[in-house]
């Protein structure tokens, strides 16, 4: 065995190819659903970080350092 990962993948794909089409579709659906949740969470976190960074940048540029500090 040159590469144990390669060997394992060949065995898995060999088993997968012997399955009925309906079973393959169910397996693929399960895998897609599992990763879909992960990707949704990841991209939501990325979007939230970008929104927070933009809000921080906007609120920082609005003050322009010209704050009166509450004095009149």
The domain segmentation of the chain, as residue ranges, is: 20-58
Please identify which residue in the block is written with the tokens 């399955």.
19
The answer to whether 7 touches 1, Cβ cutoff 8 Å, is yes
The DSSP symbol for 57 reads H
**pLDDT(27) > 80:** yes
Identify the residue with better confidence: 70 or 36: 36
**pLDDT(11) > 70:** yes
Spell out the residues 6+ positions from residue 58 whose beta carbon is closer than 8 angstroms to its own.
none
pLDDT tens figures, 49-68:
998 888 888 887 655 554 55
**pLDDT(46) > 70:** yes
């Amino acid at each position: 065995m040159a590469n144990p990962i390669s060997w394992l993948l060949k065995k898995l794909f060999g088993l997968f190819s012997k399955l009925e089409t309906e079973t393959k579709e169910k397996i693929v659906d399960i895998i897609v659903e599992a990763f879909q949740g992960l990707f949704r969470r990841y991209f939501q976190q990325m979007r939230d970080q970008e929104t927070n960074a933009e809000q921080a940048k906007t609120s920082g540029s609005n003050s322009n350092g010209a704050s009166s500090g509450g004095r009149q």
